[in-house]
Amino acid sequence: MEATESIGVSGRLALLWKKNTITYTGYVKMHHWMAGKIKAINRDTEFIIINVYGPITTDKKKAVWSEINHFLTDLKAPHYIIGGDFNTILHQSEKIGGAKIMRQSQKDFIEWVDNNYLLEIKTDKSSHTWNNRRSGFSNISEILDRFFFKGDLISFQVEMKASILPWSRSDHFPVLLELIGEVKTIGRPFKFENM
């Protein structure tokens, strides 16, 4: 397990893995994100993981996106997985209830995702990952927790599966990312028929 210190009354970032499956080398530990290299034992799989806990305010979110941008630019690794609670949605369809306004933090988040060519690893259910636990018209649900992949999927050769786990005491549903074996390529050549 690798973890950061808690932020006030909020939780902290933690990275957990099955024993004897990977080695982890930590690179950066900040208040709102941490990064390290994961190397699978008995396989060639290797990538940089960035765990994110998005701040609440727009200015702090923008600062975190900027810090991660600098890290991505400086490191230049072939594969990244970036995940966590980003505390903002990408699209209005990811929110039920509350005001339907596109806020500046959402625009900044969309720009950050686009500029870094991030590919979202969709969950097995298209469910919301956060709920304010209120009832009736006061209830709001959003997709705040997610995983992204950055890099060359063909050379990564690992199947990635994100699943939303059952609700606990938190206002967030936990999201599990599984890396399942190596992707098997089919040795069928590409054929073209001129017509």
Average pLDDT, integer, range 166-181: 87
**Any idea what the Cα angle at residue 142 is, between residues 138 and 143, rounded to 5°?**
170
Positive or negative, the Cα torsion across 173, 114, 117, 183?
positive
- For the question of whether the overall pTM of this predicted structure is more than 0.85, the answer is yes
CATH of span 2-182:
3.60.10.10
| 113-146: pLDDT as tens digits | 999 999 999 998 768 999 999 999 999 999 999 9
Q: CB-side exposure of 141: number of CA atoms within 13 Å?
A: 9
pLDDT at 183: 55
Percent of the chain with pLDDT over 90: 67
Residue 178 three-state SS = strand
Count Cβ atoms below 10 Å from residue 89 Cβ, excluding itself: 21
pLDDT at 55: 93
| Tally of residues, the chain | 195
**How far is residue 90's CA from residue 111's CA, in Å, rounded to a whole number?**
10
**How far is residue 64's CA from residue 173's CA, in Å, rounded to a whole number?**
23
For the chain, which residues make up each domain, given as ranges? 2-182
Query: pLDDT tier at 7 (50, 70, 90 boundaries)?
Result: low
pLDDT at 19: 84
**How far is residue 24's CA from residue 35's CA, in Å, rounded to a whole number?**
10
| 32-52: pLDDT as tens digits | 999 999 998 888 889 999 999
**How far is residue 125's CA from residue 77's CA, in Å, rounded to a whole number?**
30
Pair 77, 116: CB distance under 8 Å: no
Pair 60, 121: CB distance under 8 Å: no
- How far CA 148 is from CA of 51, 116, 118, 126, in Å, comes to 11, 10, 6, 15
Nearest to 106 by CA among 61, 64, 50, 72: 61
183 or 157, greater pLDDT: 157
